[in-house]
Protein backbone atom coordinates (compact mmCIF):
# COMPACT_ATOMS: atom_id res chain seq x y z
CA UNK A 1 0.00 0.00 0.00
CA UNK A 2 1.45 3.36 -0.96
CA UNK A 3 1.59 6.37 1.38
CA UNK A 4 -1.32 8.13 -0.31
CA UNK A 5 -3.65 5.16 0.23
CA UNK A 6 -2.55 4.83 3.85
CA UNK A 7 -3.24 8.50 4.58
CA UNK A 8 -6.68 8.20 2.95
CA UNK A 9 -7.62 5.20 5.10
CA UNK A 10 -6.41 6.94 8.23
CA UNK A 11 -8.50 10.02 7.50
CA UNK A 12 -11.48 7.82 6.67
CA UNK A 13 -11.10 5.94 9.98
CA UNK A 14 -10.96 9.19 11.96
CA UNK A 15 -14.09 10.43 10.19
CA UNK A 16 -15.99 7.20 10.96
CA UNK A 17 -14.97 7.23 14.60
CA UNK A 18 -15.99 10.91 14.91
CA UNK A 19 -19.42 10.23 13.40
CA UNK A 20 -19.97 7.28 15.72
CA UNK A 21 -18.98 9.40 18.72
CA UNK A 22 -21.41 12.22 17.93
CA UNK A 23 -24.15 9.72 17.16
CA UNK A 24 -23.64 8.13 20.59
CA UNK A 25 -23.84 11.54 22.27
CA UNK A 26 -27.11 12.36 20.52
CA UNK A 27 -28.63 9.07 21.65
CA UNK A 28 -27.61 9.59 25.29
CA UNK A 29 -30.61 10.60 27.44
CA UNK A 30 -29.98 13.63 29.60
CA UNK A 31 -31.60 13.40 33.05
CA UNK A 32 -34.12 16.21 33.62
CA UNK A 33 -33.11 18.86 36.12
CA UNK A 34 -35.17 19.31 39.29
CA UNK A 35 -35.55 22.10 41.83
CA UNK A 36 -36.27 19.71 44.68
CA UNK A 37 -34.49 16.89 46.47
CA UNK A 38 -34.55 13.62 44.56
CA UNK A 39 -36.61 11.96 47.31
CA UNK A 40 -39.29 14.69 47.34
CA UNK A 41 -42.53 13.58 45.74
CA UNK A 42 -45.94 15.19 45.39
CA UNK A 43 -48.43 12.38 45.24
CA UNK A 44 -52.00 12.44 44.02
CA UNK A 45 -54.32 11.51 46.88
CA UNK A 46 -56.76 8.62 46.90
CA UNK A 47 -60.07 9.88 48.25
CA UNK A 48 -61.41 7.69 51.06
CA UNK A 49 -64.80 6.22 50.18
CA UNK A 50 -66.35 6.97 53.57
CA UNK A 51 -65.91 10.76 53.70
CA UNK A 52 -68.83 12.33 55.55
CA UNK A 53 -69.94 15.21 57.75
CA UNK A 54 -71.82 14.13 60.88
CA UNK A 55 -72.63 10.85 59.18
CA UNK A 56 -73.93 12.46 55.97
CA UNK A 57 -71.99 10.91 53.09
CA UNK A 58 -70.08 12.86 50.43
CA UNK A 59 -71.30 11.58 47.00
CA UNK A 60 -67.89 11.14 45.40
CA UNK A 61 -69.41 9.31 42.42
CA UNK A 62 -70.46 12.74 41.10
CA UNK A 63 -67.45 14.11 39.10
CA UNK A 64 -67.92 17.71 40.26
CA UNK A 65 -68.12 16.65 43.91
CA UNK A 66 -65.07 14.42 43.59
CA UNK A 67 -63.04 17.26 42.08
CA UNK A 68 -64.06 19.77 44.75
CA UNK A 69 -63.34 17.31 47.55
CA UNK A 70 -59.97 16.45 45.98
CA UNK A 71 -59.06 20.14 45.82
CA UNK A 72 -59.62 20.75 49.53
CA UNK A 73 -57.87 17.54 50.55
CA UNK A 74 -54.84 18.45 48.43
CA UNK A 75 -54.71 22.01 49.78
CA UNK A 76 -54.93 20.88 53.40
CA UNK A 77 -52.39 18.09 52.90
CA UNK A 78 -49.72 20.03 51.01
CA UNK A 79 -50.06 23.31 52.90
CA UNK A 80 -47.81 21.54 55.36
CA UNK A 81 -46.98 24.38 57.74
CA UNK A 82 -50.62 25.28 58.27
CA UNK A 83 -51.60 21.64 58.64
CA UNK A 84 -49.01 20.98 61.31
CA UNK A 85 -50.02 24.11 63.22
CA UNK A 86 -53.66 23.00 63.16
CA UNK A 87 -52.70 19.55 64.45
CA UNK A 88 -50.80 21.19 67.30
CA UNK A 89 -53.66 23.57 68.15
CA UNK A 90 -56.23 20.79 67.94
CA UNK A 91 -54.44 19.07 70.81
CA UNK A 92 -54.84 22.30 72.77
CA UNK A 93 -58.53 23.05 72.11
CA UNK A 94 -60.30 19.80 71.17
CA UNK A 95 -60.33 18.58 74.80
CA UNK A 96 -62.31 21.74 75.67
CA UNK A 97 -64.60 21.64 72.63
CA UNK A 98 -65.53 17.96 72.59
CA UNK A 99 -67.42 17.81 75.92
CA UNK A 100 -69.11 21.15 75.14
CA UNK A 101 -70.38 19.86 71.77
CA UNK A 102 -71.72 16.75 73.50
CA UNK A 103 -73.32 18.87 76.23
CA UNK A 104 -75.12 21.10 73.73
CA UNK A 105 -76.20 18.27 71.42
CA UNK A 106 -73.97 19.02 68.44
CA UNK A 107 -72.15 16.28 66.46
CA UNK A 108 -68.47 15.99 67.30
CA UNK A 109 -67.53 16.76 63.67
CA UNK A 110 -68.40 20.41 64.22
CA UNK A 111 -65.16 20.98 66.07
CA UNK A 112 -63.68 21.00 62.57
CA UNK A 113 -66.08 23.79 61.60
CA UNK A 114 -64.66 25.90 64.42
CA UNK A 115 -61.17 25.05 63.15
CA UNK A 116 -62.13 26.04 59.60
CA UNK A 117 -63.59 29.31 60.84
CA UNK A 118 -60.80 30.64 63.02
CA UNK A 119 -57.84 28.24 62.84
CA UNK A 120 -58.04 28.54 66.65
CA UNK A 121 -56.37 31.95 66.45
CA UNK A 122 -57.59 34.78 68.67
CA UNK A 123 -58.09 37.47 66.07
CA UNK A 124 -60.87 39.40 64.35
CA UNK A 125 -61.59 38.79 60.66
CA UNK A 126 -61.61 41.55 58.04
CA UNK A 127 -65.43 41.73 58.24
CA UNK A 128 -65.54 41.86 62.05
CA UNK A 129 -66.17 38.20 62.92
CA UNK A 130 -64.46 37.24 66.17
CA UNK A 131 -63.78 34.38 68.53
CA UNK A 132 -63.24 30.69 67.88
CA UNK A 133 -66.62 30.43 66.10
CA UNK A 134 -66.24 33.73 64.25
CA UNK A 135 -69.51 35.40 65.17
CA UNK A 136 -70.45 38.81 63.90
CA UNK A 137 -71.50 41.26 66.62
CA UNK A 138 -75.16 41.28 65.58
CA UNK A 139 -75.41 37.48 65.61
CA UNK A 140 -73.66 37.18 68.96
CA UNK A 141 -75.95 39.75 70.57
CA UNK A 142 -79.01 38.12 69.01
CA UNK A 143 -78.10 34.89 70.81
CA UNK A 144 -77.45 36.58 74.13
CA UNK A 145 -73.70 37.20 74.19
CA UNK A 146 -72.41 40.33 75.89
CA UNK A 147 -70.38 42.29 73.36
CA UNK A 148 -68.91 45.72 74.08
CA UNK A 149 -65.53 47.40 74.46
CA UNK A 150 -65.10 45.97 77.97
CA UNK A 151 -66.42 42.41 77.56
CA UNK A 152 -66.72 40.36 74.38
CA UNK A 153 -68.13 36.90 75.04
CA UNK A 154 -67.47 35.79 71.48
CA UNK A 155 -64.01 35.02 72.89
CA UNK A 156 -65.48 32.92 75.70
CA UNK A 157 -65.18 29.32 74.45
CA UNK A 158 -67.93 27.92 76.64
CA UNK A 159 -70.50 30.62 75.87
CA UNK A 160 -69.70 30.94 72.17
CA UNK A 161 -69.89 27.17 71.71
CA UNK A 162 -73.37 27.19 73.24
CA UNK A 163 -74.42 29.87 70.75
CA UNK A 164 -72.86 27.99 67.81
CA UNK A 165 -74.79 24.88 68.85
CA UNK A 166 -78.06 26.80 69.02
CA UNK A 167 -77.47 28.35 65.60
CA UNK A 168 -76.50 25.07 63.94
CA UNK A 169 -79.33 23.06 65.51
CA UNK A 170 -81.81 25.69 64.36
CA UNK A 171 -80.44 25.39 60.81
CA UNK A 172 -80.55 21.59 61.04
CA UNK A 173 -84.24 21.75 61.97
CA UNK A 174 -84.90 24.05 59.02
CA UNK A 175 -82.99 22.08 56.36
CA UNK A 176 -83.10 18.57 57.87
CA UNK A 177 -79.40 18.21 57.10
CA UNK A 178 -76.22 18.82 59.10
CA UNK A 179 -74.36 19.47 55.83
CA UNK A 180 -76.76 22.25 54.87
CA UNK A 181 -76.61 23.56 58.45
CA UNK A 182 -72.83 23.90 58.05
CA UNK A 183 -73.32 25.69 54.70
CA UNK A 184 -75.85 28.01 56.34
CA UNK A 185 -73.31 28.83 59.04
CA UNK A 186 -71.22 30.34 56.24
CA UNK A 187 -73.89 31.86 54.00
CA UNK A 188 -76.78 32.38 56.41
CA UNK A 189 -80.03 30.45 56.72
CA UNK A 190 -81.93 32.88 54.52
CA UNK A 191 -79.26 32.92 51.80
CA UNK A 192 -79.10 29.14 51.58
CA UNK A 193 -82.88 28.69 51.73
CA UNK A 194 -83.40 31.24 48.97
CA UNK A 195 -80.99 29.49 46.59
CA UNK A 196 -82.35 26.03 47.33
CA UNK A 197 -85.87 27.24 46.58
CA UNK A 198 -84.86 29.02 43.37
CA UNK A 199 -82.94 25.97 42.12
CA UNK A 200 -85.60 23.48 43.32
CA UNK A 201 -83.11 21.30 45.20
CA UNK A 202 -82.82 20.28 48.86
CA UNK A 203 -79.24 19.02 49.07
CA UNK A 204 -75.93 20.84 49.52
CA UNK A 205 -74.26 18.74 46.85
CA UNK A 206 -76.97 19.52 44.28
CA UNK A 207 -77.01 23.28 44.86
CA UNK A 208 -75.10 26.13 43.23
CA UNK A 209 -74.01 28.33 46.14
CA UNK A 210 -71.61 31.29 46.59
CA UNK A 211 -67.99 30.40 45.84
CA UNK A 212 -66.87 30.51 49.47
CA UNK A 213 -69.80 28.34 50.59
CA UNK A 214 -69.12 25.86 47.80
CA UNK A 215 -65.67 25.26 49.27
CA UNK A 216 -66.68 25.61 52.93
CA UNK A 217 -68.15 22.19 53.70
CA UNK A 218 -65.45 20.40 51.69
CA UNK A 219 -62.78 22.21 53.70
CA UNK A 220 -64.38 21.09 56.97
CA UNK A 221 -64.44 17.48 55.76
CA UNK A 222 -60.86 17.72 54.49
CA UNK A 223 -59.70 19.03 57.86
CA UNK A 224 -61.56 16.21 59.59
CA UNK A 225 -59.80 13.63 57.39
CA UNK A 226 -56.29 15.09 57.70
CA UNK A 227 -56.38 16.02 61.40
CA UNK A 228 -57.91 12.64 62.31
CA UNK A 229 -55.29 10.72 60.29
CA UNK A 230 -52.16 12.91 60.37
CA UNK A 231 -49.57 10.18 59.76
CA UNK A 232 -51.56 8.91 56.77
CA UNK A 233 -50.99 12.33 55.19
CA UNK A 234 -47.31 12.58 56.04
CA UNK A 235 -47.37 14.65 59.25
CA UNK A 236 -44.70 13.44 61.67
CA UNK A 237 -44.38 14.76 65.23
CA UNK A 238 -43.87 13.71 68.84
CA UNK A 239 -46.39 14.29 71.63
CA UNK A 240 -44.16 16.92 73.21
CA UNK A 241 -44.42 18.94 69.98
CA UNK A 242 -48.16 19.49 70.52
CA UNK A 243 -49.62 22.58 72.21
CA UNK A 244 -51.41 22.45 75.56
CA UNK A 245 -53.29 24.76 77.88
CA UNK A 246 -52.40 24.91 81.58
CA UNK A 247 -54.77 23.23 84.00
CA UNK A 248 -57.22 25.78 85.41
CA UNK A 249 -59.97 26.24 87.94
CA UNK A 250 -62.88 28.64 87.72
CA UNK A 251 -63.68 31.39 90.19
CA UNK A 252 -66.84 33.51 90.19
CA UNK A 253 -66.95 37.24 90.63
CA UNK A 254 -69.90 39.66 90.77
CA UNK A 255 -68.00 42.87 91.44
CA UNK A 256 -65.97 45.22 89.26
CA UNK A 257 -62.25 44.64 88.77
CA UNK A 258 -60.56 48.02 88.92
CA UNK A 259 -57.21 46.82 87.60
CA UNK A 260 -56.79 43.40 86.00
CA UNK A 261 -52.98 43.55 86.23
CA UNK A 262 -53.22 43.83 90.01
CA UNK A 263 -56.02 41.25 90.16
CA UNK A 264 -53.96 38.76 88.12
CA UNK A 265 -50.96 39.10 90.42
CA UNK A 266 -53.09 37.75 93.27
CA UNK A 267 -53.13 34.45 91.37
CA UNK A 268 -49.47 34.50 90.35
CA UNK A 269 -50.26 35.63 86.80
CA UNK A 270 -48.99 38.38 84.56
CA UNK A 271 -51.52 40.49 82.66
CA UNK A 272 -50.62 38.61 79.45
CA UNK A 273 -51.06 35.14 80.98
CA UNK A 274 -54.34 36.17 82.58
CA UNK A 275 -55.66 37.35 79.19
CA UNK A 276 -54.61 34.07 77.53
CA UNK A 277 -56.93 32.27 79.95
CA UNK A 278 -59.67 34.92 79.77
CA UNK A 279 -59.55 36.55 76.32
CA UNK A 280 -63.16 37.74 76.60
CA UNK A 281 -62.00 40.46 79.00
CA UNK A 282 -60.97 43.11 76.49
CA UNK A 283 -59.60 45.88 78.73
CA UNK A 284 -57.46 46.21 81.86
CA UNK A 285 -60.60 46.38 83.98
CA UNK A 286 -64.05 44.84 84.38
CA UNK A 287 -66.76 47.49 84.75
CA UNK A 288 -69.62 45.24 85.93
CA UNK A 289 -71.95 47.99 87.09
CA UNK A 290 -74.85 45.53 86.98
CA UNK A 291 -73.13 43.12 89.40
CA UNK A 292 -73.37 40.30 86.88
CA UNK A 293 -71.79 36.96 87.80
CA UNK A 294 -68.72 36.22 85.67
CA UNK A 295 -66.64 33.03 85.58
CA UNK A 296 -62.90 33.60 85.45
CA UNK A 297 -60.19 31.01 84.85
CA UNK A 298 -57.06 30.95 86.99
CA UNK A 299 -54.31 28.30 87.31
CA UNK A 300 -55.20 25.12 89.13
Q: Summarize pLDDT for 184-206 with one digit per residue, the tens.
A: 999 999 999 999 999 999 999 99
What confidence score (pLDDT) does residue 227 get? 97
pLDDT in tens, 73-119: 999 999 999 999 999 999 999 999 999 999 999 999 999 999 999 99
Averaged pLDDT, groups of 10, the chain, 300 residues long: 48 53 55 70 91 98 97 96 97 97 97 97 88 95 96 97 97 98 97 98 97 97 97 96 95 97 96 96 96 96
Tell me what pLDDT residue 42 has: 87
Backbone angles phi, psi at 135, to 5 degrees: -85, 145
| pTM listed for this prediction | 0.86
Amino acid sequence: MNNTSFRFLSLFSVLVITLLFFNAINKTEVAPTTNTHETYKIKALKLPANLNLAGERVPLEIPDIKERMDRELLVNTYWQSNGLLLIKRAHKYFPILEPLLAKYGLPDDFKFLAMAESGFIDETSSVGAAGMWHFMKATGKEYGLEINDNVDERYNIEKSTRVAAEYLKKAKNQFNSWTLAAAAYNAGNYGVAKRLQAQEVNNYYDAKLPDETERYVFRIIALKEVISNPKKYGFVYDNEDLYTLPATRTITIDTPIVNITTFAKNYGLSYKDFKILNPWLRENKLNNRSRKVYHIKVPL
